[in-house]
Amino acid sequence: MHDPHAPPLSIIVPTLDEAGTIAATLDALRAYRERGAEVIVVDGDSRDATAELAGPLATRVAVVAPGRARQMNAGARLARARRLLFLHADTRLPPDADRHIAAALAGRHHWGRFDIRLAGRHRLLPVIARAMTLRSRLTGIATGDQALFMTREAFDTVGGFPDQPLMEDIEMSRRLKQLSRPACLPGPVVSDGRRWARQGAWRTILLMWWLRYRYWCGTPPARLARHYHDVR
């Protein structure tokens, strides 16, 4: 039975060693909390003060074993809303994202994501962002950087995020596509382009395509994770 006092949206933020940015991340969500959304930070047992800094700025903070999929599933179990939004700690939502999500999920869509812009000075970042958006619109597959959202029913139906160390967002999209095509909201969300800047844009592009190709060919995510160095 639907709880009439439940929040309209649960925003779930998985974190790991984000002490330098978590306050800004949560401050950017203040307007959503003021409109009734709950913000749940699920920390992967950070070595810094991420969880402590998040405490005063979030509705709830939980600490679990590290692993983005595991953390997001833990956040979903704590969430009270019928609409779930999974937001990376280095991603900012567009204005009124909660209202756009509500409208999208009130129709024929069970889930969705936003178009993306990558923040940074590298000249290739706008090209990379447009390619990510176009690929997602063509394939119906989204990445976590695009702020995945879905109904509680859809999340439960597909069994949540697969507990794997890499490509959990790709696999989640595959499962959700069995329910409906994603709602592709223009947004955009703005994600930090630090991965591309630190590791080199072309090198990162080639690495991500190679990893995705190997995943589609059936290579276990645990093996692929050995080649992926998460700068977050």
Tell me: the pLDDT tens digits for 187-228? 999 998 766 666 666 677 677 766 766 767 777 777 767 666
Peptide bond into 221 cis (omega under 30): no
Per residue in 62-91, pLDDT tens? 999 999 999 999 999 999 999 999 999 999
Domain assignment of residue 205, yes or no: no
Domain assignment of residue 134, yes or no: yes
Domain assignment of residue 209, yes or no: no
Taking the C-alpha atoms of residue 65 and residue 102, their distance in angstroms, rounded to an integer, is 31
Q: What is the pLDDT of residue 230?
A: 47
Number of structural domains in the chain: 1
Residue 89 is part of which domain span? 10-194
Per residue in 88-142, pLDDT tens? 999 999 999 999 999 999 989 999 999 999 998 888 889 889 999 999 999 999 9
Domain assignment of residue 228, yes or no: no
Q: Does 229 score more than 80 pLDDT?
A: no
Q: Does 46 score more than 90 pLDDT?
A: yes
Q: Edge-to-edge strands of the sheet including 91-92?
A: 60-63, 38-43, 10-15, 83-86, 149-151, 111-119, 183-192, 91-92
Amino acid at 50: T
Amino acid at 48: D
Q: What is the pLDDT of residue 2?
A: 62
Domain assignment of residue 230, yes or no: no
Q: Does 168 score more than 80 pLDDT?
A: yes
CATH number at residue 77: 3.90.550.10
Taking the C-alpha atoms of residue 198 and residue 29, their distance in angstroms, rounded to an integer, is 27
Pair type for strands 111-119 and 149-151:
antiparallel
Domain assignment of residue 183, yes or no: yes
Taking the C-alpha atoms of residue 13 and residue 35, their distance in angstroms, rounded to an integer, is 18
Burial class (CB in 10 A: 0-12, 13-18, 19+), 183: buried
DSSP annotation string for 25-83: HHHTTHHHHHTT-EEEEEE---SSSHHHHHGGGSSEEEE--S-HHHHHHHHHHH--SSE
Please give the average per-residue pLDDT across 32-40, as a whole number. Answer: 98
Q: Contact at 8 Å (CB) between 45 and 64?
A: yes
Domain assignment of residue 156, yes or no: yes
Q: What percent of the chain has pLDDT over 90?
A: 73
Question: pLDDT-derived band of residue 231, with 50, 70 and 90 as boundaries?
Answer: very low
Instruction: State phi, psi for 75 to the nearest 5 degrees.
Output: -65, -40
Q: Contact at 8 Å (CB) between 117 and 191?
A: yes
Average pLDDT over all residues of the chain: 90
Nearest to 151 by CA among 86, 90, 74: 86
Q: What is the pLDDT of residue 58?
A: 98
Domain assignment of residue 17, yes or no: yes
